Amino acid sequence: MKAVIHQFLTCYKFEAQASHQSMADLPASRVQPSRPFLTTGVDYAGPLSLRLETTRSKTITEGYVAIFVL
């Protein structure tokens, strides 16, 4: 029976089991009440090549990204 179900794509997809994703527990600093901006995170990325002005511009400069997470 298993070989027959495996041959037909519709039956094979119907029998497939969905996967369950598990999340890790949040850190205590994210769960417990505290003053604003007591715990923050910073992430930097770069240098990135940026083309300024129009799409035909040949001026390329470097840029950086900073992400602040509360």
Place of tokens 């992400």: 67
Distance, CA of 33 to CA of 28 (rounded, Å): 9
Name the least confident of 5-14, 27-36, 47-56: 5-14
Q: Average the pLDDT over 37-55 and give the result.
A: 83
Q: Assign 23 a pLDDT band (cuts: 50, 70, 90).
A: confident
Average pLDDT, the chain: 79
3-state secondary structure of 28: helix
Within the chain, strands assigned E span 41-51, 60-69
If one compares 45 and 28, the residue with the highest pLDDT of the two is 45
Predicted local confidence at residue 12, as pLDDT? 65
Tell me the two tokens of residue 21.
């994703």
